[in-house]
Amino acid sequence: MTAARGLLRHGLTVYAVCYLSFLYVPLFLLPLFSFNDSIFIAFPLSGFTTKWYVQMFQDDAMHRALWNTVKVGVMASLVSTILGLFAARALTRYAMPGRSVVLGFATLPLFIPDIVLGISLLILMTSVGIPLSLVSVALGHVMLCLPFAIAVLLSRFEGFDRSYEEASLDLGENGWMTFWRVTFPLVLPGIVSSLLLTFIVSFDDFLIAFFLSGTEPTLPVYIWAQLRFPFQLPGVLALGAAILLGSCTVVVIAEWIRSWGVKGETHSHIAGI
Protein backbone atom coordinates (compact mmCIF):
# COMPACT_ATOMS: atom_id res chain seq x y z
CA MET A 1 0.00 0.00 0.00
CA THR A 2 2.68 2.46 0.99
CA ALA A 3 4.69 1.51 -2.06
CA ALA A 4 1.70 2.11 -4.33
CA ARG A 5 1.06 5.45 -2.69
CA GLY A 6 4.71 6.39 -3.00
CA LEU A 7 4.62 5.53 -6.68
CA LEU A 8 1.47 7.61 -7.13
CA ARG A 9 3.02 10.56 -5.39
CA HIS A 10 6.22 10.23 -7.36
CA GLY A 11 4.34 9.81 -10.64
CA LEU A 12 2.25 12.89 -9.95
CA THR A 13 5.33 14.97 -9.20
CA VAL A 14 6.96 13.89 -12.46
CA TYR A 15 3.71 14.66 -14.26
CA ALA A 16 3.54 18.11 -12.66
CA VAL A 17 7.06 18.92 -13.81
CA CYS A 18 6.25 17.72 -17.36
CA TYR A 19 3.08 19.80 -17.35
CA LEU A 20 4.97 22.94 -16.30
CA SER A 21 7.49 22.32 -19.09
CA PHE A 22 4.64 21.97 -21.58
CA LEU A 23 3.37 25.36 -20.39
CA TYR A 24 6.70 27.15 -20.34
CA VAL A 25 8.98 25.66 -23.04
CA PRO A 26 7.03 27.25 -25.94
CA LEU A 27 7.31 30.61 -24.17
CA PHE A 28 11.07 30.25 -23.61
CA LEU A 29 11.61 29.72 -27.34
CA LEU A 30 10.83 33.37 -28.07
CA PRO A 31 13.68 34.81 -25.95
CA LEU A 32 15.99 31.95 -27.01
CA PHE A 33 15.68 32.65 -30.73
CA SER A 34 15.53 36.42 -30.22
CA PHE A 35 19.28 36.26 -29.44
CA ASN A 36 20.01 33.93 -32.36
CA ASP A 37 22.12 35.41 -35.15
CA SER A 38 20.03 34.15 -38.06
CA ILE A 39 17.01 35.25 -40.02
CA PHE A 40 15.68 31.67 -39.77
CA ILE A 41 14.05 30.48 -36.59
CA ALA A 42 15.60 27.00 -36.55
CA PHE A 43 18.20 24.79 -34.92
CA PRO A 44 21.16 24.69 -34.79
CA LEU A 45 21.58 28.10 -33.16
CA SER A 46 24.04 30.15 -35.14
CA GLY A 47 25.53 32.51 -32.59
CA PHE A 48 24.62 35.22 -30.11
CA THR A 49 23.43 38.62 -31.26
CA THR A 50 21.51 41.56 -29.88
CA LYS A 51 20.90 43.09 -33.30
CA TRP A 52 17.19 42.20 -33.31
CA TYR A 53 16.77 44.22 -30.14
CA VAL A 54 18.76 47.13 -31.63
CA GLN A 55 16.53 46.92 -34.72
CA MET A 56 13.46 46.89 -32.48
CA PHE A 57 14.52 50.03 -30.61
CA GLN A 58 14.98 51.88 -33.90
CA ASP A 59 11.56 50.95 -35.29
CA ASP A 60 9.39 54.09 -35.23
CA ALA A 61 6.18 52.31 -36.27
CA MET A 62 6.66 49.92 -33.36
CA HIS A 63 7.17 52.83 -30.94
CA ARG A 64 3.93 54.45 -32.10
CA ALA A 65 2.09 51.14 -31.70
CA LEU A 66 3.56 50.68 -28.23
CA TRP A 67 2.55 54.19 -27.21
CA ASN A 68 -0.99 53.59 -28.57
CA THR A 69 -1.24 50.37 -26.55
CA VAL A 70 -0.08 52.10 -23.38
CA LYS A 71 -2.60 54.93 -23.83
CA VAL A 72 -5.46 52.48 -24.39
CA GLY A 73 -4.29 50.28 -21.51
CA VAL A 74 -4.14 53.17 -19.04
CA MET A 75 -7.61 54.41 -20.03
CA ALA A 76 -9.17 50.94 -19.96
CA SER A 77 -7.56 49.86 -16.69
CA LEU A 78 -8.44 53.12 -14.89
CA VAL A 79 -12.06 53.15 -16.04
CA SER A 80 -12.70 49.43 -15.53
CA THR A 81 -11.10 49.47 -12.07
CA ILE A 82 -13.15 52.48 -10.94
CA LEU A 83 -16.38 50.93 -12.28
CA GLY A 84 -15.38 47.59 -10.76
CA LEU A 85 -14.64 49.26 -7.40
CA PHE A 86 -18.16 50.71 -7.15
CA ALA A 87 -19.72 47.48 -8.39
CA ALA A 88 -17.76 45.22 -6.03
CA ARG A 89 -18.53 47.50 -3.09
CA ALA A 90 -22.23 47.41 -3.89
CA LEU A 91 -22.30 43.66 -4.46
CA THR A 92 -20.65 42.88 -1.11
CA ARG A 93 -22.02 45.68 1.08
CA TYR A 94 -25.71 45.93 0.17
CA ALA A 95 -28.49 43.38 0.15
CA MET A 96 -29.25 43.42 -3.55
CA PRO A 97 -31.94 41.33 -5.17
CA GLY A 98 -30.74 40.35 -8.62
CA ARG A 99 -27.14 40.23 -7.45
CA SER A 100 -26.42 37.06 -9.41
CA VAL A 101 -27.97 38.58 -12.55
CA VAL A 102 -25.64 41.58 -12.28
CA LEU A 103 -22.64 39.32 -11.68
CA GLY A 104 -23.60 37.06 -14.58
CA PHE A 105 -23.97 40.07 -16.87
CA ALA A 106 -20.56 41.39 -15.82
CA THR A 107 -18.82 38.05 -16.43
CA LEU A 108 -20.61 37.46 -19.75
CA PRO A 109 -17.68 38.75 -21.86
CA LEU A 110 -15.65 35.73 -20.68
CA PHE A 111 -18.17 33.42 -22.33
CA ILE A 112 -18.43 35.19 -25.67
CA PRO A 113 -15.75 34.61 -28.30
CA ASP A 114 -13.58 37.69 -28.85
CA ILE A 115 -14.50 37.73 -32.52
CA VAL A 116 -18.18 38.21 -31.65
CA LEU A 117 -17.32 40.98 -29.18
CA GLY A 118 -15.12 42.57 -31.84
CA ILE A 119 -17.63 42.57 -34.69
CA SER A 120 -20.57 43.60 -32.53
CA LEU A 121 -18.55 46.54 -31.17
CA LEU A 122 -17.61 47.41 -34.75
CA ILE A 123 -21.32 47.44 -35.64
CA LEU A 124 -22.06 49.63 -32.61
CA MET A 125 -19.32 52.15 -33.39
CA THR A 126 -20.42 52.51 -37.01
CA SER A 127 -24.11 52.71 -36.04
CA VAL A 128 -23.57 55.35 -33.34
CA GLY A 129 -21.02 57.18 -35.45
CA ILE A 130 -17.98 56.87 -33.19
CA PRO A 131 -14.95 56.93 -35.51
CA LEU A 132 -12.61 53.96 -35.23
CA SER A 133 -9.71 55.17 -33.12
CA LEU A 134 -7.93 54.51 -29.86
CA VAL A 135 -11.05 55.76 -28.06
CA SER A 136 -13.21 53.04 -29.59
CA VAL A 137 -10.57 50.44 -28.70
CA ALA A 138 -10.49 51.71 -25.11
CA LEU A 139 -14.30 51.52 -24.89
CA GLY A 140 -14.18 47.91 -26.02
CA HIS A 141 -11.40 47.15 -23.58
CA VAL A 142 -13.35 48.55 -20.63
CA MET A 143 -15.93 45.83 -21.29
CA LEU A 144 -13.22 43.22 -21.76
CA CYS A 145 -11.46 44.22 -18.51
CA LEU A 146 -14.52 44.66 -16.31
CA PRO A 147 -14.97 40.96 -15.41
CA PHE A 148 -11.35 40.82 -14.23
CA ALA A 149 -11.60 44.07 -12.24
CA ILE A 150 -14.82 42.95 -10.56
CA ALA A 151 -13.43 39.48 -9.74
CA VAL A 152 -10.24 40.85 -8.17
CA LEU A 153 -12.01 43.58 -6.17
CA LEU A 154 -14.87 41.32 -5.14
CA SER A 155 -12.49 38.84 -3.53
CA ARG A 156 -10.81 41.73 -1.72
CA PHE A 157 -14.09 43.18 -0.39
CA GLU A 158 -15.34 39.75 0.62
CA GLY A 159 -12.14 39.15 2.56
CA PHE A 160 -12.44 42.09 4.87
CA ASP A 161 -14.02 42.49 8.22
CA ARG A 162 -16.99 44.90 8.36
CA SER A 163 -16.31 45.55 12.05
CA TYR A 164 -13.41 47.88 11.17
CA GLU A 165 -15.84 50.18 9.41
CA GLU A 166 -18.35 49.91 12.21
CA ALA A 167 -15.66 50.73 14.76
CA SER A 168 -14.68 53.82 12.79
CA LEU A 169 -18.30 55.00 12.58
CA ASP A 170 -18.80 54.34 16.31
CA LEU A 171 -15.69 56.37 17.09
CA GLY A 172 -17.24 59.36 15.34
CA GLU A 173 -15.87 59.38 11.82
CA ASN A 174 -18.43 60.18 9.13
CA GLY A 175 -19.14 57.86 6.20
CA TRP A 176 -16.75 59.58 3.83
CA MET A 177 -13.81 59.66 6.26
CA THR A 178 -14.49 56.04 7.18
CA PHE A 179 -14.27 55.08 3.54
CA TRP A 180 -11.12 57.13 3.04
CA ARG A 181 -9.27 56.08 6.19
CA VAL A 182 -10.48 52.50 6.74
CA THR A 183 -12.08 50.98 3.68
CA PHE A 184 -9.78 52.42 1.02
CA PRO A 185 -6.47 51.34 2.63
CA LEU A 186 -7.91 47.85 3.16
CA VAL A 187 -8.96 47.54 -0.48
CA LEU A 188 -5.89 49.30 -1.88
CA PRO A 189 -3.98 46.10 -2.69
CA GLY A 190 -7.03 44.92 -4.65
CA ILE A 191 -7.16 48.23 -6.53
CA VAL A 192 -3.48 48.12 -7.48
CA SER A 193 -3.76 44.46 -8.47
CA SER A 194 -6.87 45.19 -10.56
CA LEU A 195 -5.14 48.13 -12.30
CA LEU A 196 -2.16 45.95 -13.21
CA LEU A 197 -4.15 42.92 -14.36
CA THR A 198 -6.67 44.91 -16.42
CA PHE A 199 -3.76 46.80 -18.01
CA ILE A 200 -2.29 43.44 -19.05
CA VAL A 201 -5.65 42.24 -20.42
CA SER A 202 -5.94 45.40 -22.51
CA PHE A 203 -2.27 45.33 -23.52
CA ASP A 204 -2.53 41.74 -24.81
CA ASP A 205 -5.85 42.01 -26.61
CA PHE A 206 -5.55 41.53 -30.33
CA LEU A 207 -8.99 40.80 -31.80
CA ILE A 208 -11.01 43.70 -30.44
CA ALA A 209 -8.24 46.15 -31.33
CA PHE A 210 -8.00 44.46 -34.75
CA PHE A 211 -11.60 45.44 -35.52
CA LEU A 212 -11.72 48.80 -33.72
CA SER A 213 -8.31 50.42 -34.07
CA GLY A 214 -8.82 51.89 -37.55
CA THR A 215 -5.57 53.50 -38.67
CA GLU A 216 -3.92 53.57 -35.24
CA PRO A 217 -2.65 50.04 -34.56
CA THR A 218 -1.98 48.82 -31.05
CA LEU A 219 1.07 46.63 -30.49
CA PRO A 220 -0.65 43.23 -31.04
CA VAL A 221 -2.24 44.55 -34.25
CA TYR A 222 1.17 45.79 -35.36
CA ILE A 223 2.71 42.38 -34.56
CA TRP A 224 -0.06 40.66 -36.53
CA ALA A 225 0.80 42.75 -39.57
CA GLN A 226 4.51 41.90 -39.18
CA LEU A 227 3.84 38.15 -39.07
CA ARG A 228 3.15 38.18 -42.82
CA PHE A 229 6.76 39.05 -43.63
CA PRO A 230 9.30 36.27 -42.88
CA PHE A 231 12.21 38.73 -42.67
CA GLN A 232 10.39 40.58 -39.87
CA LEU A 233 10.07 37.49 -37.68
CA PRO A 234 13.33 37.87 -35.68
CA GLY A 235 12.24 41.42 -34.83
CA VAL A 236 8.87 40.08 -33.68
CA LEU A 237 10.74 37.54 -31.53
CA ALA A 238 12.71 40.28 -29.78
CA LEU A 239 9.57 42.33 -29.24
CA GLY A 240 7.68 39.23 -28.10
CA ALA A 241 10.39 38.27 -25.63
CA ALA A 242 10.31 41.79 -24.17
CA ILE A 243 6.50 41.70 -23.90
CA LEU A 244 6.53 38.24 -22.26
CA LEU A 245 9.09 39.32 -19.69
CA GLY A 246 7.16 42.54 -19.01
CA SER A 247 3.76 40.91 -18.59
CA CYS A 248 5.11 38.04 -16.44
CA THR A 249 6.73 40.58 -14.12
CA VAL A 250 3.58 42.69 -13.88
CA VAL A 251 1.37 39.65 -13.22
CA VAL A 252 3.62 38.24 -10.50
CA ILE A 253 3.72 41.67 -8.82
CA ALA A 254 -0.08 41.98 -9.15
CA GLU A 255 -0.71 38.56 -7.60
CA TRP A 256 1.78 39.26 -4.84
CA ILE A 257 0.10 42.57 -4.01
CA ARG A 258 -3.32 40.91 -4.16
CA SER A 259 -2.29 38.40 -1.51
CA TRP A 260 -1.19 41.18 0.84
CA GLY A 261 -3.08 41.39 4.08
CA VAL A 262 -5.02 38.24 3.34
CA LYS A 263 -3.24 36.20 6.00
CA GLY A 264 -3.49 38.08 9.27
CA GLU A 265 -1.76 41.20 8.06
CA THR A 266 -4.92 43.26 8.13
CA HIS A 267 -4.03 44.55 11.58
CA SER A 268 -0.71 45.97 10.49
CA HIS A 269 -2.45 47.75 7.62
CA ILE A 270 -4.84 49.41 10.03
CA ALA A 271 -2.02 50.18 12.46
CA GLY A 272 -0.04 51.76 9.66
CA ILE A 273 -2.61 54.49 9.05
Partner 1 sequence: MAAAHGVMGDAPVRSTRHFLHSETLRGYFLVSPALAALIFTLAAPLTLLVLYSLWTQNDLTLDTNPSLAQYERVFGTDAYRVLFLRSLGISSLVTLLTVAMAYPMAYFVAFKVKRAKFLWLIALTVPFWTSYLLRVFAWKIILGYNGVINSGLISLGLISDPFEFLLYNPTAVVVTLAHAFAAFAILPIYVSLEKIDRSLLEAAADLGDGPVSRFFRITLPLSVPGVIGAAVLIFVPTTGDYVTPALVGGTDGLMIANMVQVQFARVNNWPLGAALSIASMGAVAFVACMTIVMARFAVRRIR
Binding to partner 1 (CB under 8 A) within 34-93 occurs at 40-44, 79, 82-84, 86-87, 89-91, 93
User: Where does residue 269 rank: exposed (0-12), middle (13-18), buried (19+ CB within 10 A)?
Assistant: middle
Taking the least distance from each CB to partner 1, the nearer of 36 and 273 is 36
Q: Provide the minimum distance between the beta carbon of 77 and partner 1 in the complex, in angstroms, as a whole number.
A: 14
Binding partner 1 (rule: CB under 8 A), the pick from 66, 186, 187, 200 is 200
Part in contact with partner 1 (CB under 8 A); list of ranges 26-34, 158-166, 176-184, 265-273: 26-34
Q: Provide the minimum distance between the beta carbon of 141 and partner 1 in the complex, in angstroms, as a whole number.
A: 9
- Contact status: 269 vs partner 1 (CB under 8 A): no
Distance CA 195, CA 218 (A): 19
Distance CA 219, CA 250 (A): 17
Part in contact with partner 1 (CB under 8 A); list of ranges 58-66, 96-104, 154-162, 164-172: 96-104
Helix, strand, coil % in the chain, rounded to nearest 5:
80, 0, 20
Taking the least distance from each CB to partner 1, the nearer of 191 and 197 is 197
Please tell me the number of Cα atoms within 13 Å of 166 on its side-chain side. Answer: 5
Q: Provide the minimum distance between the beta carbon of 198 and partner 1 in the complex, in angstroms, as a whole number.
A: 11
**Are residues 192 and 257 in contact, defined by beta-carbon separation less than 8 angstroms?**
yes
Query: 137 in helix, strand or coil?
Result: helix
Binding partner 1 (rule: CB under 8 A), the pick from 56, 121, 154, 195 is 121
- Contact status: 116 vs partner 1 (CB under 8 A): yes
Distance CA 66, CA 62 (A): 6
Taking the least distance from each CB to partner 1, the nearer of 149 and 186 is 149
Query: Which DSSP category does 36 fall into?
Result: B
Binding partner 1 (rule: CB under 8 A), the pick from 73, 190, 217, 220 is 220
Q: What are phi and psi of 87, to 5 degrees?
A: -65, -45
Binding partner 1 (rule: CB under 8 A), the pick from 3, 5, 47, 129 is 5
> Which parts of 147-186 interact with partner 1 (CB under 8 A)?
150
Q: Provide the minimum distance between the beta carbon of 172 and partner 1 in the complex, in angstroms, as a whole number.
A: 21
Taking the least distance from each CB to partner 1, the nearer of 109 and 189 is 109
H-helix segments, 129-232:
134-158, 162-170, 175-178, 184-204, 207-212, 219-226
Q: Provide the minimum distance between the beta carbon of 83 and partner 1 in the complex, in angstroms, as a whole number.
A: 4
Tell me if the bond preceding 44 is cis, omega within 30° of 0: yes
Binding partner 1 (rule: CB under 8 A), the pick from 55, 155, 247, 266 is 247
